[in-house]
Amino acid sequence: MHDALDVELPARTRLPADLYESLVERYSYVRADGSRILPWDFTRYMNHSCDATSFLLGANLEIAVRDVREGEQLTSDYASLNLERGFDCLCGSPSCRRRVEPSDYEALAPAWDRLIVDSLQTASDVAQPLADWFPRDGRLESWMREPLLAPSILDNRHQVGAETRFRTRRAKVLASARR
């Protein structure tokens, strides 16, 4: 989740390779416009899981997509964060893919969108202890009322060398996944 205290690095930022590049690559994620977000808080230590607990919903909100047990780590699927290089996965999840690749984004987006829609549909039925931290712009509340109007996770996809043209709504993604 991007907030006002995070550091936003424009897409063309040049850093001294020997000093910062590896740290920025390790602890930041790429947004749809190619800029990087370097979180200021503990989210920079969020681990990967092929059975992630949460996904980005739009540019500034992360949503839990399943129950999180007490003491369980909060995790993301790194493929959903515009991964630039693949890696061997040792997450230990029963659904572990063993290898996580940048191309997983498009392949898994329909399933991730379904998880997000399902979570939005039930969010108002579940205690929301972090509600005071929700964005105050009304988007989340409207998406909880009409989950199919929420942006697709594909809206977060960065296409290297091309302007991002993914503006697919979840209804279209879900419809194509049913075929």
Domain extent listing, the chain: 45-178
Which residue did the predictor score with more confidence, 101 or 46?
101
Q: Is 67 helix (H, G, I), strand (E, B) or coil?
A: coil
In which residue are the tokens 């399943």 written? Answer: 66
- DSSP state at residue 84: S
Cα separations in angstroms, 13 against 24, 30, 36:
11, 12, 9
What is the chain's mean pLDDT, rounded?
A: 80
Cα separations in angstroms, 165 against 30, 100, 171:
16, 24, 17
Q: Are 104 and 97 in contact (CB under 8 A)?
A: yes
Question: From CA 116, how far away is CA 113, in angstroms rounded?
Answer: 5
Question: Which segment of 10-19, 46-55, 101-110, 127-136 scores lowest on mean pLDDT?
Answer: 10-19
Could you read off the pLDDT of 39-92 as tens digits, one per residue? 766 666 689 999 999 998 876 788 999 988 889 999 999 999 888 889 999 999
> Residue 151: pLDDT band by 50, 70, 90 thresholds?
very high
Contacts of 79 (CB under 8 A, 6+ apart): 100, 101, 102, 104, 105, 108
Q: Quick one: pLDDT at residue 154?
A: 92
Torsional sign, CA 27, 33, 35, 38: negative
Q: Quick one: pLDDT at residue 167?
A: 35
Could you read off the pLDDT of 47-61 as tens digits, one per residue? 999 999 999 887 678
Q: What angle do CA 155, 164, 43 make, to 5 degrees?
A: 50
**Residue 160 pLDDT more than 70?**
no
Q: HSE of 122 in the Cβ direction (CA atoms, 13 Å)?
A: 10
Q: What angle do CA 20, 22, 26 make, to 5 degrees?
A: 115
Q: Quick one: pLDDT at residue 35?
A: 80
Cα separations in angstroms, 31 against 134, 154, 159:
20, 11, 10
Q: pTM, whole model, 2 decimals?
A: 0.74
